[in-house]
Amino acid sequence: MAGKALGLGLIVLLVCMSQAAERSRPSALAGSWYPDRPAQLKGELDGFLEAAAEQRITPDQPIRALILPHAGYRYSGATAAKGFSLVQGKQYQRVIVLGPSHHSDFRGLSIAEVDAYETPLGSVPLDQYAVQQLRASSLVLADPEAHQREHSIEIELPLLQQTLAPGWKLLPILVGQMEAEDYRQAAALLQPMADNNTLVVVSSDFTHYGARFNYLPFPPDRQAAEHIRQLDEGALERILAKDRDGFLTYQRRTGITICGFRPIRLLIEMLPASSHLQQLAYTTSGALTGDYHNSVSYAVIAVTGPPLSGNSAPPTAKPIESAKLGAEEMLLLHQIAVAGVDLAVGDGQAETRQRLDRLLKQLPPALTAPAGAFVTLKEEGKLRGCIGYIQPRQPLYQAVLENGINAARNDHRFQPVTAEELPRLTIEVSVLTPPRQIASYKDFRVGEQGIVLNKAGQKAVFLPEVATEQGWTREETLARLSRKAGLPSSAWQEGASFQIFENQKYAAPYLP
């Protein structure tokens, strides 16, 4: 599966290292809440999505957010799929998942200190730039106890993996105790990130009824099903009306056990006035099992209209086709990379973000086009970190910023860069053209072009300067590339395919 993903060119490729070390959150649900075998899990999800597609009513406007249930798939999977089917095959750069905390009572927002979430379907990388932006706020923390066993975020991930086009990154946020001002502050933090390329998922079940949940506002008799529905409808009515205060008042008055009422309240705070909310599905576990002594309700709501950020600019620009940026543009990219390194080191965060904001206000159109990019750190001439990717999967400036952060913090061969090292660093930015297929390795120009080898599901890549720096011939370059891909040295000679690309470099000493 990893080989196929690499074949699509939608996984980060590391040129200066064989594989990036990640701090991953392992699945806490595989084998219980959903199958732990990938083929079985995919089959179950496909069944849900196919059934949902047959009943789908597609809204006229783009989907901006979804409120979805988060129980085990045998209970809520079919209902959740009715929401996910609306975005099947859609391309997003970011998915924000807002979920409640079931295991910790912190105040504010919490993001796990990891680089990725794991599921049986693979690794889901976090949007590290967005995470760094949020961590600058005192409202955002990392509560390890809250994330270790939490299901509200993880349960949405396999469905997202199976539904969306590859290439998106995750912004997973648990919403804890919140005061009125906290909601306003959190909405202000998140709205700029909920742009035209972002999907917001709010993870919440509705009424938890019965002795198991310590919630018995009426007896578990023949009328229980109707009473539960009426209770949920009161909450849904206020959500659909975007009545944020009325929703919380209803929750306090009835005691309704909507576990994600805080994430829902936060979403309502984020919505533009012209957003439209539509209920797509509703059911209960009681209806599925025939037992209403204990029952959980599941609803799906779609939010359509303008982006929550208010930015309705076109989702993507045309990728950069040639590495011919001007000197001023390359200098600006270098300054953005320096800001990324500073963010990773962690000193002077407020000043760094102010500096970064000034830089981003100067962006020429060329730097907002998608492009592959690498950031390489050297300390007194020796490699100190190098991370990037070759595919044009996000705007160039964002790729450089993100890889600056990762090169300073996430190169597994080195300890994270410290503030004391910064004056000794040279920072190099490489801008890459999209890889293009060549008929034969003989068409590869050594030293002028980068090269990607692909064979038997294995892949490896060298930047153009690697062969020049090492003094390799074409044959030596290809042999080294084969070994980097985990193949025999002679693997390039038969059955391998090749792509080439050009790059443009700018290197200069670290200067904040």
Half-sphere exposure of 252 (CA within 13 A, CB side): 7
Q: What is the pLDDT of residues 100-111, one digit of tens each?
A: 999 999 999 999
Architecture label for domain 327-509: 2-Layer Sandwich (3.30)
Q: Report the alpha-carbon angle 26-28-34, nearest 5.
A: 115
**Over residues 484-489, mean pLDDT:** 91
Domains 20-304 and 327-509 share a fold: no
| Fold assignment, 20-304 | Protocatechuate 4,5-dioxygenase; Chain B (3.40.830)
Who has greater pLDDT, 7 or 452?
452
173 pLDDT above the threshold of 80? yes
Give per-residue burial for 72-95: e unless 16+ CB within 10 Å, then b: ebebbbbbbbbbbbbbeeeebbbb
Asked if 300 and 236 touch (Cβ cutoff 8 Å), the reply is no
Look at residue 315 in the predicted model and tell me its pLDDT: 42
Say whether pLDDT at 155 is over 90: yes
For the chain, domain boundaries: 20-304, 327-509
pLDDT above 70 (res 316): no
Distance CA 165, CA 190 (A): 23
Closest CA to 187 of 170, 207, 202, 167: 202
The pLDDT value given to residue 14: 39
Q: At what angle do helices 128-135 and 327-345 cross, to 10 degrees?
A: 60
Residue 297 has pLDDT above 90, yes or no: yes
pLDDT of residue 205: 97
Q: Where are the beta strands (DSSP E) in 153-253?
A: 169-175, 198-203, 208-210
